[in-house]
Amino acid sequence: MLGRLNHVAIAVADAAKAAKIYGTAFGAEISDRVPLPEHGVYTVFATLPNTKIEFIEPLGENSTIRKFVERNPDGAIHHLCYEVPDIIAARDQLISEGARVLGDGEPKIGAHGKPVLFLHPKDFSGALVEIEQS
Ligand code: CO
């Protein structure tokens, strides 16, 4: 059920600025800065051969990452995103094994136009986990 690592997300105050050095120094392909109001973030992606780095920046006063960025003003790793072939089957299996799904438990459309869910970091060794339908 556990598929590819889709991305590692880094939360920052300015996503475009944070991504820039990946383009200039590493030569990575950098996406535009895209607002995702339903998730309360702007995103910029750096594409690597085997995965992506997602830079997320607070969008709106109630952004779920605003406090995280205030606590980590230089930025910090925020979550890991794994692909799963069937997000509902994955969710139900994870819940049956005792993992907690954040929010109302229903998938939302994520940065790649596919359904995503977030899983409680206390159930994953301190790492916030996002699953995305592949
Ligand atoms: Co993500």
Per-residue pLDDT tens digits for 23-43: 999 999 999 999 999 999 999
Class of residue 61 by CB neighbours under 10 A (exposed 0-12, middle 13-18, buried 19+): exposed
* Contact between 1 and 134 (Cβ < 8 Å): no
If pLDDT is split at 50, 70 and 90, which confidence band does 1 have? confident
Task: Pull the structure tokens for residue 123.
Answer: 């159930």
Number of domains in the chain: 1
Q: Taking the model in full, what pTM does it have?
A: 0.94
Cα 54 to ligand 1 centroid, rounded to whole Å: 6
Catalytic, out of 54, 83, 130, 132? 130
The alpha-helical segments, DSSP class H, found in the chain are: 15-24, 66-71, 87-96
Whether residue 82 is predicted with pLDDT greater than 90 in this model: the reply is: yes
DSSP bridge partners of 132: 83, 116
Cα 110 to ligand 1 centroid, rounded to whole Å: 7
Domain of residue 56 covers: 5-133
Cα 121 to ligand 1 centroid, rounded to whole Å: 14
Q: What is the CATH number of the domain that holds 64?
A: 3.10.180.10
Q: Is 83 tagged catalytic?
A: no
